[in-house]
Amino acid sequence: MRDDVVTPALATNAGLIHTIIREAFSGTDFGYQGEAELVRELVADGDELVSIIYWRNHQALGHLFFSRMNVEADGKLISAAGLGPVSVLPEYQGQGIGSGLIRMGIMILEEKGVDISFVLGHESYYPRFGYSPDLAARFASPFAGPHFMAMMLDSDAAWPLGGRADYAPAFGRMG
């Protein structure tokens, strides 16, 4: 029988997370670009908001990370979470594990009362979770473009008219 669970990552899971991220990104067209080291730095800087692991029969198959962002909307600072990296071991991709992690991560952000989440990623994947390039386009960011998307975590909240969105400092130190 299959036993699938998602748990918060513990400090003792750091090695496991490193391996999942490295393997997941090594299997992409663009290759591994230090995403595991980035997560390590974000954690060391205290910029972790959500870090969760997907387990099947006690084997860790996927990981999702949200980092704290510095976001100003209509002149006020609001709480914001940047999605990524999200990683699934190559042989387990395409089975709904990444989607399961993202849906769970978004629920955790809602419970924490985070206002908005951003992602830089594929425009055919993230809109299914509620991310919109139109919302992100209202924010000035070095990542602005068709792959930059955002969602209000309270779906009843009005969209800000404009603002600025900055990822945590560790992103700026990426090579």
Ligand X SMILES: CC(C)(COP(=O)(O)OP(=O)(O)OC[C@H]1O[C@@H](n2cnc3c(N)ncnc32)[C@H](O)[C@@H]1OP(=O)(O)O)[C@@H](O)C(=O)NCCC(=O)NCCS
> What residues make contact with ligand X under the rule CB under 6 A?
24-25, 28, 84-88, 93-99, 121-122, 124-125
End-to-end CA distance of the chain: give it in Å, rounded: 43
Strand 59-73 to 163-166 pairing: antiparallel
Least distance from ligand X to the Cβ atom of residue 129, Å: 10
Maximum Cα–Cα distance across the chain: 52
Residue nearest ligand X (C-beta atom): 98
Least distance from ligand X to the Cβ atom of residue 19, Å: 13
Residue 148 CB burial class (10 angstroms; 0-12, 13-18, ≥19): buried
Q: What are phi and psi of 99, to 5 degrees?
A: -65, -40
CB-wise, 28 or 57, nearer to ligand X? 28
SS3 171: helix
CB-wise, 100 or 159, nearer to ligand X? 100
CB-wise, 96 or 142, nearer to ligand X? 96
Q: Which helix (H) or strand (E) holds 77?
A: strand 76-88
d(CA 11, CA 104): 20
CB-wise, 72 or 121, nearer to ligand X? 121
3-state percent breakdown (helix, strand, coil) of the chain, nearest 5: 35, 35, 35
CB-wise, 84 or 105, nearer to ligand X? 84
Least distance from ligand X to the Cβ atom of residue 156, Å: 27
Least distance from ligand X to the Cβ atom of residue 130, Å: 15
Least distance from ligand X to the Cβ atom of residue 51, Å: 14
